Structure 1
Amino acid sequence: MIDVKRIREQFPIYKKYPNLRFFDSGASALVHENVIKKMSDYMSYNGTNVHRGVYSLAYEATNLYENARGVIAKFINAKENQIIFTKSTTHSLNMLATSFKSILEPGDEIIISELEHHSNLLPWLNIADELKLVVRFIPLENGLITIPNFKSVLTTKTKLVVTHHMSNVIGYVTPIKEMVKLAKLYGAYVILDAAQSILHIKTDIQDLNIDALAFSGHKLYGPNGVGILYLNDHLSEILPPAEFGGEMVDTVNLDGSTWKTVPYKFESGTPPIAEAIGLAEAINFINDVGIDNIHEHELNLRNYCIKALENEKGITIFNKAHDSTIISFNIDGIHPHDTASFLDQQGVCVRAGHHCNQLTMRYLKQDATVRASIAIYNSIEDCDILINAIKETRDFFTSL
């Protein structure tokens, strides 16, 4: 059982806004106090670069940074040298797409879906256009990826399968393990966008057997400005760096250069040191509470809201059948931005728009939706206020 009162005391924002009802954690979660303290300590009492200086402060900074890599590696059951620090999920996926250009040829096929966030769609469409690759979209069934439909697009030319773990619009969890098994039969690489799932589903990359994975710190009660790219040993060896500069280089010559071993081969310039330290502290917090406990708490609250809203007139819920922490809905005849603005006047924070996912919006035949995403610091009281605010919004606008 999650003690929400005790949890909220660990998030400084509630000290300033005790009546905040925050339901936009799917975009960026609130930041835990230990994260802020660890980052502040580094910036206040150290602030030096890593891997460069031989003095004691630089040694301390390097230890903090590399210890953070270890915490993150253990969190997803990876090896430390398989964890690459980036600035975001988007950065990770763009770097990956750039590196993959070296091993793809015209006519190679990429499998992807209409459910992808733009960050996991546009980089691949861009290189497909540049290299004359074939993009195959998985046919959706009731808005979902099914194994038979996935099999229907697999061919001997499939080189990449790019998908999400959890949809950021409807919360649907992709049947990734079955997809990986099938993709491997064709010798295809599997890339997983775990930005939405990483906080809610225990992620074991050895069990999933994926080749690459990306996620961000700001989804995990940690800082923005830091992302993670996991690469398995094979890809780490065969892919070239996507960015070049200081730190990642081993030797520089006029007629060619060589790169450092992984992960440093992919980390050019000064990395997000404070942010990496903060992310590790956020993961320590999650581990202390237990990711399964967090997810159970979130699902209980989400189901409570669904039960209260699913039969309400004039309210359409697009994902009530899925076990997720997201509620995607619209109020009939009211633009989602108007709904979100009206909820904000009652202290309720939700997301409204196409959620960087226009293809899914088109599939749902909506210009935009309202998304309420539930997290560890939400309570039954929060949910009651959200439910009542949605009803009041409907009633207010329909009365005009």
Structure 2
Amino acid sequence: MAFDPLLLRPLFPILAQSAYDHPLTYLDNAATTQKPLPVLDAIQDYYRHFNANVHRGAHFLSDRATNRFEQARDTVARFINAPEQSHVIWTKGATEAINVVAYGLEHILEKGDEILITSLEHHANLVPWQQLAFRTGARLRIVPLTSNGEWEPEFSHYFTDRTRIFAATQVSNAIGASTPLKTMIDLAKQQGAFTLVDGAQAVAHYPVDVQALGCDFYVFSGHKMYGPTGIGVLYGKNHALEILMPYQTGGEMVRHVSYQATEFNVLPYRLEAGTPHIEGVIGLAAACDFLNAQDRLALLAWEQSLANHVYTRLHKAGGIEIYSPEKNTTLVSLSVPNIHILDINAYLDSQGVAVRAGSHCAHPLMAQLGVAGTLRASFACYNTMEEANRFCDVLLDAIDLLNDE
């Protein structure tokens, strides 16, 4: 491979430590990624040199903070190829961004309308739409996977003249499967529906072009793409953002207030109430710069090669149920018959291997797979082939040990 993760690892000092007297092998990247020094430095630089509130202060520090804050918006807009920086709305994360849209579109729905999602969705892209359906009398419908984990050959019939909203993940956090987004978005457009893409699991791996996707909304979280926690992005086309009723009201999102009425601010500020997560915004921009400085396609190919290697080794070992695709994914999700995944996870943890065990906030998908949860190893640019092999070795040791009990 042209890409060498050892060149990047010095930027992630947290990875150099031990866990229970074993080298730390961090493979829980789908939950959150570690942060490189440029991101940590950008956050510290804000607090050391220009800590002040943005937009409201007429002094030196506030001017510096505001300039960096809005430069960050421009950086993120370019990172996802948004047409203008005003199309980028700051949120606490992908979950809040989806809720902003769900509440903001409530006024367009009526009884009998349909909200369409897929069976791959994280709860964050399910529960807000479910609750919106409860509040409005709309119907929540699901585009399902088949029993063997593939999409139906013909799913266009799920998109009807009652479809008002279509929301789908770009990549499943639970099993790593991708959604045929372009086809589904085009079908939704033919029905005049608003479209939202949950890109939380995609932006760290894939170059994202929201204009090419053509979706009305695109959401993601900073902490899954080497940025800080507590910061996320809601991208929207101008007409789509304009139709949203503000999710929160108060300071910053107003232009003029009297006791009788309030005039809301222009975009993007109309949807950003209160003091924003300034250091998070600056850290997220640094994460975008970090990723843009890399060969994104080489990073993706490396991450997929690690997942493919693990898939191949475990498939050959036998006795393991693997739910992820064999190729074109950056994670491996599995279970072992007659052994609880939490027992396997405990053994892995005792050997310094950090993975995730559970339902991955996808209860309906787990029910469809017929399991309570899976064990998930997910890869990032700093992971090595040695770590992929260590995961396999320790997992197989755990299976042998637990089968003997």
Per the shorter chain, which TM-score range?
over 0.9
For 1:266, which of 271, 291, 294 is the aligned residue?
A: 271
The answer to whether structure 1 residue 154 and structure 2 residue 159 are counterparts is yes
Q: Which whole-Å CA distance do the structure 1 matches of 2:176 and 2:318 have between them?
A: 23
Residue equivalent to 2:33: 29
Q: Which whole-Å CA distance do the structure 2 matches of 1:292 and 1:322 have between them?
A: 15
- What does residue range 216-231 of structure 1 map to in structure 2 within 5 Å? 216-231=221-236
How much does 1:383 deviate?
Answer: 1.0
Residue equivalent to 2:72: 68
Q: Which whole-Å CA distance do the structure 2 matches of 1:47 and 1:147 have between them?
A: 54
How much does 1:6 deviate?
Answer: 1.9
CA offsets, 1:43-100, max 9 Å, x none? 1222211001010100000011111111110011002000000111111111111111
Q: TM-score, normalised by structure 2?
A: 0.96
1:197 alignment partner, SS class = coil
The residue type equivalent to 2:63 in the other structure is Y
Residue equivalent to 1:375: 380
The residue type equivalent to 1:362 in the other structure is A
The answer to whether structure 1 residue 308 and structure 2 residue 309 are counterparts is no
For 1:298, which of 280, 294, 303 is the aligned residue?
A: 303
Residue equivalent to 1:113: 118
- What does residue range 142-181 of structure 1 map to in structure 2 within 5 Å? 142-146=148-152, 148-149=154-155, 151-181=156-186
Residue equivalent to 1:327: 332
Q: TM-score, normalised by structure 1?
A: 0.97
Residue equivalent to 1:353: 358
- What does residue range 199-214 of structure 1 map to in structure 2 within 5 Å? 199-214=204-219
CA RMSD of aligned residues (A): 1.2
Residue equivalent to 2:94: 89
Q: Which whole-Å CA distance do the structure 2 matches of 1:147 and 1:58 have between them?
A: 55
Residue equivalent to 1:387: 392
How much does 1:14 deviate?
Answer: 2.3
Q: Which whole-Å CA distance do the structure 2 matches of 1:237 and 1:53 have between them?
A: 27
1:110 alignment partner, SS class = strand
CA offsets, 1:11-49, max 9 Å, x none? 020243492111000000011111011101111222211
The residue type equivalent to 1:143 in the other structure is G
For 1:243, which of 241, 248, 256 is the aligned residue?
A: 248
The answer to whether structure 1 residue 5 and structure 2 residue 6 are counterparts is yes
The residue type equivalent to 2:131 in the other structure is N
Residue equivalent to 2:56: 52
How much does 1:202 deviate?
Answer: 1.5
1:289 alignment partner, SS class = coil
Please, which runs of 5 or more residues in structure 1 have no aligned partner?
none
Residue equivalent to 1:42: 46
1:40 alignment partner, SS class = helix
1:93–1:123 contact (8 Å) kept in structure 2? yes
Q: Which whole-Å CA distance do the structure 2 matches of 1:224 and 1:27 have between them?
A: 11
How much does 1:4 deviate?
Answer: 1.7
How much does 1:147 deviate?
Answer: 6.0
The residue type equivalent to 1:157 in the other structure is R
Task: Give 4+ residue runs of structure 1 displaced > 4 Å after superposition.
Answer: none
1:70–1:80 contact (8 Å) kept in structure 2? yes
Structure 1 residues 146 and 232, CA, compared in 2 at 3 Å: closer, same or farther? farther
| Identity across matched positions, percent | 38
Q: Which whole-Å CA distance do the structure 2 matches of 1:255 and 1:145 have between them?
A: 53
1:311 alignment partner, SS class = helix
Structure 1 residues 178 and 320, CA, compared in 2 at 3 Å: closer, same or farther? closer
For 2:282, which of 266, 270, 277 is the aligned residue?
A: 277
Q: Which whole-Å CA distance do the structure 1 matches of 2:322 and 2:32 have between them?
A: 22
Q: Which whole-Å CA distance do the structure 2 matches of 1:172 and 1:313 have between them?
A: 22
